[in-house]
Amino acid sequence: MSEPAHEPLNEPLSDTTSAWEPVIGLEVHVELDTETKMFCGCAVSKGDPPNTHTCPVCLAHPGALPVVNERAVEYAARIALALGCTVRPRSIFHRKNYFYPDLPKAYQISQYDEPLAVAGSFDYWVAGELLTCRINRVHMEEDAAKLIHAGGDAGRIAGSEYSLVDFNRGGTPLIEIVGEPDIPSPEAAREFLHQLRNLVIGLGVSECNMEEGQIRWDANISVRPAGSGQLGTRTELKNMNSFRFLQQALEAELPRQIAVLEAGGLIEQETLHFDPETGATTPLRSKEEAHDYRYFPEPDLVPLTVAEAWVDELRRTLPELPAARVERFVAQYGLSRYDATVLAGAGDMARFYEDLVAQGIDPKLAANWVMGEYSAHLNAAGLSPGHGHVTAPRLAALLRLVADGAVSGTAAKQVFALMVEERGEALEIVARHDLAQVSDTGELKAAVAAVLAAHPAQVEQFRAGKEQLAGFFVGQVMKATQGKANPQLVSELVRAALAGREPGSDHV
């Protein structure tokens, strides 16, 4: 009899020749951008002075009672539906008990075995390949307060260290998305999170600001012999909020686990800490991590029921999701799937691209520019798509000049840089910096003749049969004209000059 598929595999493995494969599962927390907190009327704080948004409910004064925020349920349901989950007509809240200064009630109101939504899936791309990760559930809870740990001498009162507590964050609506262990590599884990974040932002339910910890996650990882259906024992990296550190941490943990197993050891199920400085994963003291949360149903809240018609309405009004948009970009604009994932993955980038195409710009030309010069500019300037001086209409004006042959592709890059630098318009910059494409045959013929005269050895080689040198001559003429020459015309003139004939003539 074979083992059930979910039984952890934790026998010492002595076969050192077998290849290993990683298995990764993510638990993602997202703070919702509601006006008020999950169970009280306090405003959700956006960088306000500490402890200015508190009340008896979120400070856990005796006798204060929680009331569920309907908008938070709606936002959570939107996320669940976008992940193809079933929103359950009835769910209940539980108390998750633990004692820590960030939690004045000494329990967090969360959901447990009857969550809001279950059984979905998320499609994401890794290097142009579509992967699917099953989603176990989406549940609602409240965020804890924020602890500010004071360090050094300043952090000591009467010789002991102390922390400050800001209760503004306490009670902020939070959802947890629990993914199944379906993610096959650290790179895929990073893509999963990046694209999940784009999905949530596109739903308008959270800005997912990384610095403010509006999206953060735990990463679980195990290894198993490649192709094995079993799951190995996992370790967990807790509370991360950097894509880069996530990938680095998983890439460090992977060889560590393999080395333990290959040495005949066992993986201990534990929580690890990743130190970006040393690149190593080390165990957190596991005693303190061995919680017993003593979950029990929250007696102060009635079960949450949602009407089917309401859920249907939410489903009907979901915006176009990134996965569907990628497919539409492929079909509508003839883009490769890779280009479509870059352009359609995030809502603001997709909007900018479509604004450009709506100005009558060829979709392929627009794609090349948005993914090339324009993205490089956004990165360098720290801007998001559509922001800054170069708006879609301004870039469209430049690309129209390229399409019409008024500016060469090379010169257009210079024009673009000058548009950014001088905050000007394409046409005006082309005129002022003399960057119009030269299609004047007389002028170009002279440039060709000069280049051939300057390279007699290459001309001889060409005539002796080394025809690929034509490209070299064209390049030299482009250089001599600072990229302004019409390259097609130059190519024609170079070949004609080398053959000793008039361009366009059929006689050889």
Residues that bind ligand ADP (CB under 6 A): 23-27, 178-181, 220-222, 231-232, 234
Burial 341-374, CB ≥16 within 10 A → b, else e: bbbbbbbebbebbbbbbebebbbebbbebbbebb
Is 396 a binding residue for Zn ion by CB under 5 A? The answer is no
Residue number with CB closer to ligand ADP (26 or 497): 26
Q: Which residue has the tokens 């490649």?
A: 226
Q: Find the shortest distance in angstroms from Cβ 37 to Zn ion.
A: 5
Total residue length of the chain:
508
DSSP one-letter code for 278:
T
The end-to-end CA distance of the chain, in Å, is 81
Residue number with CB closer to Zn ion (57 or 444): 57
- β-sheet bridge partners, residue 131: 124
Residue number with CB closer to ligand ADP (217 or 333): 217
Residue number with CB closer to ligand ADP (28 or 366): 28
What does 42 bind: Zn ion, ligand ADP, none (CB cut-off 5 to 8 Å by kind)?
Answer: Zn ion
Q: Which residue is nearest to ligand ADP (CB)?
A: 25
CB 58 within 8 A of CB 207: no
Q: Which listed residue (42, 81, 357, 378) binds Zn ion by CB under 5 A?
A: 42
The residue among 264, 317, 237 whose CA lies nearest residue 12 is 264
Helix (H, G, I), strand (E, B) or coil at 82: helix
Per-residue binding letters, 1-40, with Zn ion (x by CB under 5 A): ---------------------------------------x
Residue number with CB closer to ligand ADP (221 or 335): 221
Distance CA 410, CA 145 (A): 54
CB 275 within 8 A of CB 37: no
Residue number with CB closer to Zn ion (63 or 442): 63
Question: What would the two tokens of residue 290 be?
Answer: 């061995």
Distance CA 184, CA 22 (A): 6
DSSP one-letter code for 183:
B
Identify which range of 42-50, 368-376, 454-462, 464-472 contacts Zn ion by CB under 5 A.
42-50
Distance CA 378, CA 295 (A): 47
Q: Find the shortest distance in angstroms from Cβ 356 to Zn ion.
A: 45
Q: Find the shortest distance in angstroms from Cβ 396 to Zn ion.
A: 49
What does 179 bind: Zn ion, ligand ADP, none (CB cut-off 5 to 8 Å by kind)?
Answer: ligand ADP
What does 26 bind: ligand ADP, Zn ion, none (CB cut-off 5 to 8 Å by kind)?
Answer: ligand ADP
Q: Which listed residue (38, 58, 177, 189) binds Zn ion by CB under 5 A?
A: 58
Q: Find the shortest distance in angstroms from Cβ 139 to Zn ion.
A: 21
Residue number with CB closer to ligand ADP (6 or 316): 6
CB atoms within 10 A of CB 53: 24
Inter-helix orientation angle 70-82/308-316, to 10°:
60
Residue number with CB closer to ligand ADP (231 or 418): 231
Q: Which listed residue (55, 258, 321, 436) binds Zn ion by CB under 5 A?
A: 55
Distance CA 423, CA 391 (A): 11
- Contacting residues toward Zn ion, per CB under 5 A: 40, 42, 55, 57-58
